[in-house]
């Protein structure tokens, strides 16, 4: 029988995945406040409903919960949009801020005490910005498959389980995502 996760192990796991989960949510919803809410909801659901699971099962469970929470966000947004449209037609619509910048990101934590070359760090930051911009432009399913496979390093079967689709679909979405990313980045002058 697998060993169940302790409270400390669950807390450590959540601390480890928090930043990556936030980035995934940001890529999906393009709103910092919504992304934070989604990650918090996913973490809360994991701790409330699955704290009795073995530690080895937590990464897959969390990814599935995170993806479901993102999908739930879009469902709620669609309902709100319908009501906002109806109310707008009656002259009571609200104004939205169109100046949101989806490329705002969290600063990476450095665990290294080695001296960092500012020019190299700046160049890496620019390249990461281009990559993040390209990833955010992918269709949702391609972005989801790409992030699960190459960012979260899930294998094809795990990504398929997290996405709720077949392994062949994951492979197709990943292939298309990599091809699209290569084209977008080459158009920006970045050779892979």
- Are 189 and 139 in the same domain? yes
Q: Are residues 132 and 78 part of one domain? A: no
Residue 69 has pLDDT above 60, yes or no: yes
pLDDT of the residue at 122: 86
Same domain, 129 and 182: yes
Ramachandran angles phi, psi of 4, nearest 5°: -75, 150
pLDDT tens-place string over residues 168-182: 999 999 999 989 988
106 domain residue, yes or no: no
Domain count within the chain: 2
Residue ranges in the chain assigned as alpha helix (H): 7-29, 32-50, 58-89, 118-136, 140-146, 156-163, 167-187
**Nearest alpha-carbon partner for 54 in 1, 97, 129:** 1
Question: What pLDDT score does 79 carry?
Answer: 65
Give the structural domain span for 132: 118-192
Does residue 184 sit within a domain?
yes
CA distances in angstroms from 187 to 135, 176, 190, 191, listed in the order given: 14, 17, 7, 9
The pLDDT of 14-39, averaged and rounded, is 93
Which pLDDT does position 113 carry in this prediction?
47
Please give the distance of CA 98 from its chain centroid, rounded to a whole number.
22
pLDDT tens-digit series, residues 129-163: 888 888 999 999 999 999 998 888 888 999 999 99
Same-domain pairing of 158 and 79: no
- Rounded to an integer, what distance in angstroms lies between the CA atom of residue 24 and that of residue 67? 9
- Tell me the pLDDT tens digit for each residue of 99-132: 443 333 334 444 554 566 888 888 888 888 888 8
Query: Maximum distance among all alpha carbons in the chain?
Result: 62
pLDDT of amino acid 117: 80
For the segment 1-24, what is each residue's pLDDT rounded down to a tens digit?
677 888 898 999 999 999 999 999
128 and 54 share a domain?
no
- Do 122 and 169 fall into the same domain? yes
Question: Which CATH number covers residue 57?
Answer: 1.10.1740
């Amino acid at each position: 029988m697998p060993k169940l996760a302790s409270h400390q192990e669950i807390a450590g796991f959540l601390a480890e995945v928090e930043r990556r989960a936030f980035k995934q949510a940001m890529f999906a919803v393009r709103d910092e406040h919504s992304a934070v809410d989604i990650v918090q909801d996913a973490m809360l659901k994991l701790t409330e409903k699955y704290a009795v699971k073995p530690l080895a099962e937590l990464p897959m469970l969390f990814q599935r919960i995170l993806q479901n929470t993102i999908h739930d966000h879009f469902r709620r947004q669609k309902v709100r949009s319908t009501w906002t449209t109806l109310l707008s037609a009656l002259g009571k619509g609200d104004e939205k801020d169109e100046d949101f910048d989806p490329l705002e990101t969290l600063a990476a934590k450095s665990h290294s005490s080695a001296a960092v070359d500012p020019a190299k760090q700046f160049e890496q930051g620019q390249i990461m910005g281009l990559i993040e911009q390209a990833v955010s432009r992918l269709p949702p399913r391609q972005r989801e498959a790409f992030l699960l496979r190459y960012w979260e390093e899930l294998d094809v079967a795990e990504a398929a389980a997290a996405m709720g689709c077949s392994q062949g679909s994951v492979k197709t979405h990943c292939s298309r995502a990599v091809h699209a990313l290569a084209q977008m980045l080459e158009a920006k002058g970045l050779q892979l």
